[in-house]
Amino acid sequence: MFYINRFLHLRVYRWTLKEKMISVSISIPRQEREAVEEKEIRNDNHQLGVNDEVKNKHLLRSGQLGMCNASYCTSCPISCYYERPLTFRVSQRFDHYNDDVQRRGVKAWKQEKLSLLKHFMFGVINPHAKVVRGWTQLVITSCSFATVIDPLFCYLLSVNKGFKCIGIDSRMTTPIVVFRSMMDLIFLMHMLVQFRLAFFSPESRVLGAPELVDHPRKTVLHYLSGYFFLDLFIVLPIPQIIVLFILPNAIASLGINYEKDLLRAAVLVQYIPRLFRISKLIDGMGASGYIPWSGYSLVISNLQIFVSAGHFVGSCWYLLGLQRVNQCLQDACHNSTIMHCMKFIDCGKGKESWAFDGDQIWNKWKQDKNSSACFTEDGFPYGIYVKAVNLIVDNSMITRCAYSMFWGLQQISTLAGNQTPSYFFWEILFTMFIIGVGLLLFSFLIGSMQNFLQGLGRREMETLVRRRDVEEWMRHENLPENLRRKVRESEYFNGAATQGIDGEMLMQNLPEDLQRDVRHHLFKFFKKVRIFAYMDEPLLDAIYARLRKKTYIKGGKVLYIGGVVTKMVFIARGKLEIIVENGNKVLLSEGDVCGEELLISYFEHFLVNRGKRLISNRTVKCLSNVEAYVIWVAELEEVTNLFSEYFRNPRFQYAIRNKSLYWRTMAATTIQVAWRHYKKRQNRAKTSRGMAGIW
């Protein structure tokens, strides 16, 4: 009973102490909590093998946002690749709070939740985090849509041919403004993210060891000194302000042309920086390994740039054509006797014109011949805007946009070769601008296509250069024609077998375990080789690592009688023929081996004297083009020295002697020779007995 009471007292004491610790933790100032967290992070770093000095502590406090999710990153610190125990502590803290929420009260629990949320929102983000990659892709997509939406502001203005006035398409104004504002909102959020995005110090990149800077103040200063003001200019709603507030109040005034120039300039000055920022974002993702650039993706991106340029040029052409029609209407008003006709040029949003119903002056304006001539091709010196005269009176915005884009693409493609401008100064400048844009885009497109095609044909070019070098070498050495033909055949077959790829160099760049797996896949046909069927994996790995690819052409000789055996040849593809001294022939194909007498010679101690060489007693001739793998005598000797105990194993030697074609041939030849000697002895004995009987 005493022990039970003692146990209950201890439980109550621990529960009371726990409550006091919780209440104290709530009242701990923020600085002390950060100090405690910093100490915990230092302990975690020490457990992970990182220096005791706290590095990238702001990233570590950000949880998953501070982790590096790039598969091939070599720049982020090692501490950013681990799941921090801090997350585990936070989860424990959450569970603990959920268990004790009734005891502590809902208010304290909410305060702690808000503090954690605030800590999460104001953390520093790793530039290689997965969420940053997805967010950057969203920003690039939104900016691409914005480049399509911006020129659409020019098509909001149109001409009412019956009323001879200029108005705003109120049906399309709201959707375009809303979409553009949504794109601006996304880009504004991107700007806010940049203030909390860690960066790599440019000075450390020069030294070859990039340093990830995660201090909040430094990240803010880095963005402020970088693209902040350019991004701020891009996100300004200048076209929305002009369309919603400036143009409706300026259509009836004499300064309408200047307002159209302002709209065109606003679209232009925001269009080009936006394209620049898109290219920078794409380059940043490509440098991080997130975008696997290929030739086809480059072609698509170049085509997108070409179409965007045509879309922008077409919108400018439409707006300038509208401006010329407006100028024609103003000139017709000045040259007519109609009083106060300037106010009739303004249609506003379509409702203002109905206020003139019953006005005799308005009826005269609608029937005026000078103003009606503005809608004919020869009624005003329109120059390159002749086709725009009938386009701007079309009620369909889709038609106006599609034809203007077609006109822009056509003029960029032909460098405005089919256009003759009038003597209007700004029209001449616009034509020169089209020619310059066309030349710039064509040079950029041709350069990209040339690099792409050169990349595709690089191997073919290298093959042609090599063949030319071979031809020059044969000509310099005065080789006879039959040898030249064989050299050409060997080069052609070697190029077809290897596809111009140096497999050995590629293998050397791979890690050792991956090399082993690749070799096991490449040499899986070796399982068909009889002498390899009884070898262990370590011995096979040693042999695989020393095999080199070799090609032989039809009619070539791998070995010949009286020649030195310097290699073992493992056939991967093709057919060969063995011709022994007595004239017998044996066919070899895929999975067979020749030159195994080298391996047998080590078993029989033929090469105890290293100066002695093995002489071939047979000829191996290629019946077709052959792909094979060879191992040279020096490398084979190295393998036998490394695995000498394995080669001395009687079981292995027995298997080799029974499965080796060379050993079988030697055994059969020995048996045949012994049988012949036996028959000769028997015949000699019979002859001797016969002669003895006669005598």
Are 299 and 229 in a shared domain?
yes
In a 10 Å sphere around its CB, with 0-12 CB exposed, 13-18 middle and 19+ buried, how is residue 20 labelled?
A: exposed
- Nearest CA-CA partner of 629 in 586, 540, 567: 567
Secondary structure percentages of the chain, helix, strand, coil, to 5: 70, 10, 25
Angle at 453 between CA 449 and CA 457, to 5 degrees: 170
State residue 683's pLDDT score: 82
Task: Answer whether residue 463 is part of any domain.
Answer: yes
Lowest mean pLDDT among 231-235, 422-426, 535-539: 535-539
pLDDT (0 to 100) of residue 106: 60
Mean pLDDT, residues 86-102: 41
- Smallest Cα–Cα separation from 494: which of 506, 481, 482, 503? 503
The mean pLDDT value for 613-641 works out to: 83
- Indicate if 476 and 543 belong to the same structural domain: no
Residues 577 and 621: beta-carbon distance below 8 Å: yes
Please count the structural domains in the chain. Answer: 4
| pLDDT class of 296 with cuts at 50, 70, 90 | low
Which of 94, 121, 148 terminates a domain? The answer is 121
The reply to whether 260 and 345 lie within a common domain is yes
Q: Which of 302, 288, 308, 309 is nearest to 451 (CA)?
A: 302
Q: pLDDT band for position 405 (50/70/90)?
A: very high
**Both structure tokens of 612:** 């002695």
Residues 564 and 495 in one domain: no
CA 397, 398, 399, 400 dihedral sign is positive
Whether residue 196 sits in one domain with residue 63 = no
302 domain residue, yes or no: yes
My answer on whether 579 and 530 are in the same domain is: yes
**Does one domain contain both 334 and 210?**
yes
Q: Which of 121, 148, 163 is the last residue of a domain?
A: 121
Give me the helices (H) in 499-564, please.
503-508, 512-522, 537-544
State whether 492 and 621 are in the same domain. no
Token pair belonging to 561: 């009688």
The domain that contains 640 carries what CATH number? 2.60.120.10
Q: What is the mean pLDDT of residues 476-504?
A: 79
Same domain, 253 and 339: yes
Whether residue 687 is contained in a domain is answered as: no
Structure tokens at 2: 């005493």
pLDDT reading at 383 higher than 50 = yes
Other CB atoms within a 10 A radius of the CB of residue 104 amount to 17
What secondary structure does DSSP assign to 444-466, as a single string?
HHHHHHHHHHHHHTHHHHHHHHH
Among 431, 452, 473, the domain-final residue is 452
Ranking 111-120, 413-422, 547-556, 667-676 by mean pLDDT, the lowest is 111-120
Looking at the domain assignment, is residue 555 inside a domain? Answer: yes
Contact indicator for 52, 42 with CB cutoff of 8 Å: yes
Whether residue 681 is contained in a domain is answered as no
Is the residue at 577 inside a domain? yes
Residue 61 lies in a domain: yes
Residue 695 domain-assigned (yes or no): no
pLDDT average, residue stretch 324-328: 88
CB 332, CB 370: distance < 8 Å? yes
Q: Are 356 and 338 in contact (CB under 8 A)?
A: no
CA pair distance 445, 462, nearest whole angstrom: 25
Question: Are residue 461 and residue 428 in the same domain, yes or no?
Answer: no
Q: Which pLDDT tens digit goes with each residue over 603-616? A: 555 444 555 677 88
Give whichever of 7-16, 64-73, 117-126, 267-276 has the largest mean pLDDT. 267-276
Q: Which residues form the domain of 20?
A: 2-121
Q: Do 499 and 612 belong to one domain?
A: no
Whether residue 338 sits in one domain with residue 319: yes
